[in-house]
Amino acid sequence: MRDPARIDEILAALRAAWQESPDLRLGQLIVDAVRPTQPCPEVFHVQDEGLLERLTEYHETMGGAKQVMDSGRN
């Protein structure tokens, strides 16, 4: 399992970079930072509001999936 402590460090770096360039969308910032060898238009062009909606749906779905997985361990 990956160390959950990495999350706070990554989020802090992301916050600092985004606050320096607040006009960028989050996907745009990530693609600019990663500099992938292949284009990622779905990530680059996603609007922050759409990403927030999708992340909320993902969290709700994964939260339910985690509960099912955890209940299977008992």
**pLDDT tens string 30-72:** 999 999 999 999 999 999 999 999 999 999 998 866 655 565 5
Q: 73 pLDDT exceeds 60?
A: no
Residue pair 40/31 in contact by the 8 Å Cβ criterion: yes
Residue pair 48/72 in contact by the 8 Å Cβ criterion: no
- In this predicted structure, what is the pLDDT of residue 19? 99
Start-to-end Cα distance in the chain? 20
- In this predicted structure, what is the pLDDT of residue 69? 52
Overall average pLDDT of the 2-22 stretch: 97
Q: 7 pLDDT exceeds 90?
A: yes
